[in-house]
Copies of this chain bind each other. A is one copy, B any other.
Amino acid sequence: MKKILVIHGPNLNLLGDREIDVYGKVTLTQINSSLKRLAQKKKIQLKIIQSNHEGKIVEVIGETKGKFSAILINPAAYTHTSVAIRDAISAVPVPCVEVHLSNIYQREEFRHTSLIAPVAKGQVCGFGLMSYVLGLEAAISLIKNKK
């Protein structure tokens, strides 16, 4: 059974409570439930982590080789500042899908540039919880096409 690593970046533990006009009322638990339901249906195993630490995220990505078939990541604030996470994604031969709850192109100028996008396979943003679900579908389809 194939495994996908799901990474939630900094502050996402506060979802449902935080800036509801931007992120909506959905909580991280609800997102994870939706992802697990889809994974089960598609016979994919998920490992889900949330971390506020850039170094931690670098580490878990660095250890995906040979263990995971794809990465699904919402890098949150690190999207715009972390060359280290970008390098980690480049360093491992595991395809990566980038997702965002909000449409980052409708927000502050500095959120319009993603350091992660050029090393990800693709990006889904702006659909709230659905961004994650569609991102997971994309990741699964990437695995299937590879076979």
B10 to A58, Cβ gap below 8 A?
yes
Nearest-CB residue, chain B, relative to A124: B124
A11 to B87, Cβ gap below 8 A?
yes
Chain B nearest CB from A33 CB (Å) reads 16
B137 to A126, Cβ gap below 8 A?
no
A11-B87, A134-B138 as given contacts; A52 in contact with B52, CB under 8 Å: no
Is A92 interfacial (CB 8 A cutoff)?
yes
Is A49 interfacial (CB 8 A cutoff)?
no
Closest 9 CB pairs of A and B: A122-B126, A53-B55, A105-B117, A18-B91, A77-B84, A77-B83, A52-B58, A52-B55, A10-B84
